[in-house]
Every structure is written in structure tokens, then in C-alpha cells.
Amino acid sequence: MSNQSEGLDLSSLDTVTDEEKNTHLMHVWSWRGPLYDLYVNSLMLDYADPAFNKLHRAAADQFGRPDPVNILLLGTQNVASYMMLGWETGIFNQFNLQRRNGLSREEIMELVMFTQLYAGMRGLGHVYRAVGDFLPAFGPPPKAPAFAPGWAPDPDAFKSGLDLSTREMTGADRENLAGWYERTIGYLPNSIAFGMKYHPEFVKVNRAKWEVAIKTLPKQFAPHLMIRLNMMSGNAQGLREAVLLSKSWGISRLHVVKSITSSAFYFTAFEGLYVAERAVDDILEAWA
């Protein structure tokens, strides 16, 4: 591993000096964001075993800082995670971080609205309590975002051909929706087949929400968030669908793997990889 990371000497795991502690804390305070990053690192530096703290930093380097693409990918998934958990401090922190990383208020809110499909009105309530009072004054980002290579907006990619002039699930709607799934992931998920069998009107309107949630962000953010959300819920079939859509829409195998393992690192520990192994090992094994 690299000898230095944000002021910490990773070549010496058994000790941490006051100079290392102070340098590291000044580094995370250097962008003058919310105090969260400062106080959680203070807690580890002051009370964890030095090796634990430094190994955490070494592992975190794989998913976030210093690579700008990693930073953006991890942070956008964290927006969804904190909405699901109802952690308003984290939501507030991520709004500030994603603005600093180049996302506009409108783009961050697209992440929020996509996650609302999973977190419901409860998730939106947490977002409002975290950031609602200052959103009207939320300024433009200071730089352009570092999207992964090949990532680009494509709102038409979400469209399955639903006829929104009627709430009824028509025969053409059924064919078009099934066709969209067969073209993008290779099969019609049982969840959609079940919904169309028993409550087709719900499937139609909820799918229509899914199709309009992300318009200005790259389309790849949809399956990117789906990976994290299904890792957190332990939904193997949902994770498989997310990874297949990721592959279809041009997300790299490396970024899919990192999305899975970062979820384990920050939210599920190794046990979360049971779900991933069951859901997508064959896909990753055959992925050139």
C-alpha cells in the first residue's frame, strides 16, 4: 500500500503520532464543509487502535479520495443510502460534498427522486429536514463533475413506450414494457410480471416515475444506485437486475465490482457479499 494517505503514514500501522492526527484532521477540514468528516475521523484517531484507523484509510482510498471519479460514484450512492437509513447528518454532508464534486442542485435532486422510489415519502422527509431550509440558496457547483468514461445523459433510454394518456395498462403497454426489459437485461423480471398480473395500474404509474426521475444526469446513475440499494436490502434478484442493466448501459466491470464492495465496506460487512455471490458471480465471471 502507499506509504502516505491524507497525512497518515500507512507504512507504520502500529503507531500514530500527534503530527499524523493533526495533519489528517486538517486535511479533512481543508474544504470547510460540514463537521461530520472531522469528528468521525477524530473519534477513530483518538480511540481506535492505530492499525484499525490506518487500515480503514487504506481501504477507503480504494473507493473514494483521491480519485475524482471514485469520489463522485461513492458519494452519489451514499445519498441513496442515507435516505434509506434516515441519517440526516449524512444527507446534509453529501449535498455539500456533491456540490463540491460538481453536481448542481437539480442533479442531486434527481438522485433524491430516484431513491424516493425505494425510500418513499419518509426518505423525502429526511432530505427536507437535512437540507430543505437552505436548498433555495444552494449555489452552483465550483467545477464540472468527473463522470466515469462513457457516462452520459440519455433520458430516452428509460422509455419503454407506455401510453400515458390512460392509466390502464393496455396490451401495447405490456408488450412494450416486456420488450424493454428483454432488450436491456435479457428477460422480464418476475417482480414486473407479478405486478402486471395483479395490479397493472400500479406497475404502469410507478414505472412511469422511474422513467422520468433521471433526465440531466448520465443514465448510468440509475443502475449505479440500484446496486447500492439492493446490496443494502439483501435483494439478490434486484442486484442481478441492477448489474445486468449496468452492463447493458456501459458501466465498467470494475465500477460494478467497486459498487458492490464499497457497499460491503460501509454498510453490510462481508456478509453482504453472500448476496452478491448468489446474484451476480456468473455475470462477473463471464464479463470480458
CA-CA-CA-CA dihedral for 243, 249, 254, 259, to nearest 10: -50
Q: Give residue 141's identity as a one-letter amino acid code.
A: P
1 has pLDDT over 70:
no
Mean pLDDT on 23-49: 87
Q: Which three cell numbers stand for residue 184?
A: 436491456
Q: Are strands 8-9 and 4-5 parallel, antiparallel or unpaired?
A: antiparallel
Sign, CA dihedral 232-233-239-243, equals negative
- Per residue in 194-220, pLDDT (tens digit) is 999 999 999 999 999 999 999 999 999
- Per residue in 167-201, pLDDT (tens digit) is 999 999 999 999 999 999 999 999 999 999 999 99
Burial tier of 107 (Cβ tally within 10 Å: 0-12, 13-18, 19+): buried
DSSP string, 200-260: HHHHHHHHHHHHHS-SSS-TTHHHHHHHHHHHHHT-HHHHHHHHHHHHHTT--HHHHHHHH
Domains, the chain, in order of start with CATH, read 68-137 (no CATH), 155-286 (1.20.1290.10)
Cis peptide before 66 (omega within 30 of 0): yes
SS3 letters across 145-161: CCCCCCCCCCHHHHCCC
Mean pLDDT on 44-52: 91
SS3 letters across 30-67: CCCCCCHHHHHHHHHHHHCCHHHHHHHHHHHCCCCCCC
pLDDT band for position 2 (50/70/90)?
low
DSSP 8: E
- The strand pairing partners of 5, in sequence order, are 8
Burial tier of 72 (Cβ tally within 10 Å: 0-12, 13-18, 19+): buried
Three-class DSSP category at 286: helix
CA dist 251 and 117 (Å) reads: 22
CB atoms within 10 A of CB 29: 13
pLDDT score for 36: 83
Contact assessment for residue 99 and residue 108, using Cβ atoms and an 8 Å cutoff: yes
* Range in 56-60, 130-134, 229-233 the model is least confident about: 56-60
Q: Give residue 287's identity as a one-letter amino acid code.
A: W
Three-class DSSP category at 165: coil
| Terminal C-alpha separation, the chain | 27
Instruction: Record the pTM.
Output: 0.94
pLDDT score for 173: 98
